[in-house]
Structures are given as structure tokens and as C-alpha cells.
């Protein structure tokens, strides 16, 4: 092996504990789940608000 390849291999092995992919995917899925929940709640609130505006004018 060349010296550059050995240095790259050693560097990769030393950096592996810092680059845990499971934590990265966990963060992505948590953000995705919470943003999805927020979007659904916002849509439900918007529908309720629109329905209340639509039907509130007929009570007079």
C-alpha cells in the first residue's frame, strides 16, 4: 500500500466514531415527523377557521 492510502485508512478509522450514521438518520426522521405533524395541525386549524368564517355569516 502507498503511504497516502495508509494515512487515509488510519484517518478514516479514527474519524468513524464521530460519524455515526444512525444518529444522523434519527435526527432527520425526528425532524420529518415533527414537521409533518405541524403541517397536519396547521391544515386542520385552517379548515376549522375557514368553516367557521363560512358558516358564521348565515346565523344573522
Phi, psi of 2 (to 5 degrees): -75, 160
Does 32 have pLDDT greater than 60?
A: yes
Residue 60 exposure: Cα atoms within 13 Å on the Cβ side: 3
Residue 60 reports pLDDT greater than 60: no
pLDDT band at 34 (very low <50, low <70, confident <90, very high): confident
pLDDT tens-digit readout, 2-27? 777 788 788 777 777 766 667 666 77
pLDDT at 43: 92
| In the chain, domain spans | 20-60
Is residue 33 very low, low, confident or very high in pLDDT (cuts 50, 70, 90)?
confident
pLDDT tens digits for range 36-47: 888 889 999 999
Amino acid at each position: 500500500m502507498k503511504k497516502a492510502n495508509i494515512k487515509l485508512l488510519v484517518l478514516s478509522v479514527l474519524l468513524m466514531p464521530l460519524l455515526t450514521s444512525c444518529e444522523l438518520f434519527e435526527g432527520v426522521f425526528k425532524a420529518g415527523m415533527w414537521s409533518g405533524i405541524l403541517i397536519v395541525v396547521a391544515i386542520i386549524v385552517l379548515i376549522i377557521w375557514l368553516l367557521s368564517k363560512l358558516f358564521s355569516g348565515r346565523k344573522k
